[in-house]
Amino acid sequence: MKSLFTLMSLLILSVVQAAQAQTCLANADDTTPDDDFSTITTSTVLHTPTGLIWQRCAVGQTFDGSTCTGEAEQMTWQEALMYAYTYDADLREGWRVPNLKELASLAERDCVRPAINGTFFPATPPDSFWTSTPSIMDPLRAWTVAFFNASHSIKEKDRTVYLRLVRTKLPTE
């Protein structure tokens, strides 16, 4: 009975892990190839085409040298803006919430769950991330990018969503 339980547990675990694995189109060109990125520090990555420096992990996670660990935090849009402001207050490096176009530049359109370059942004939650771009039609909503499938949508600003900060490359970098 114990071996049957162990076997069933392993089977369930392998199905769950397979369901969480990134799936990409076969024979498709990457929209965010590894060559477009370079490591700046252990926790930051340069996206060469845009000149933007990104946090490697979602807010709440930490890069351990090979992957992002810990629980990514979700927050409202206002909390995300305040988090970025507070985060950069002492650093004075220009960290901020990315706009829609900036965040969408990270989306790997040939992959899902997550739809992002897994080499440079490991363990990204396959869900929505805030942008700083408000909806022009509805002041109670702002744009998000979903790293489930690389889609964009507007969400109510009081919903909780993930966050990854960005900054412009400094002249000394």
Answer whether residue 119 is part of any domain. yes
Rg (CA), the chain: 18
Answer whether residue 11 is part of any domain. no
Are 128 and 162 in contact by the 8 Å Cβ rule? The answer is: yes
Answer whether residue 88 is part of any domain. yes
Answer whether residue 89 is part of any domain. yes
Answer whether residue 69 is part of any domain. yes
Answer whether residue 9 is part of any domain. no
Per-residue pLDDT tens digits for 50-107? 999 999 999 999 999 999 999 999 999 999 999 999 999 988 999 999 999 999 999 9
Per-residue pLDDT tens digits for 130-155? 999 999 999 999 999 999 999 999 99
| 145: region left, alpha or beta (phi > 0 left; psi from -120 to 50 alpha) | beta
Answer whether residue 173 is part of any domain. no
In this structure, what CATH number is given to the domain that contains residue 131? 3.10.100
Range of the structural domain that residue 101 is part of: 24-168
Identify the burial level of 73 via C-beta atoms within 10 angstroms of its C-beta, where 0-12 means exposed, 13-18 middle and 19 or more buried: middle
pLDDT of residue 6 exceeding 90, the answer is: no
Answer whether residue 109 is part of any domain. yes
Domain count, the chain: 1
Q: Where are the beta strands (DSSP E) in the chain?
A: 23-24, 37-41, 44-47, 52-55, 62-63, 68-69, 111-112, 128-134, 141-146, 151-156, 166-168
- In angstroms, the CA 100 to CA 103 distance is 5
Strands of the sheet containing 151-156, edge to edge, are 128-134, 141-146, 151-156
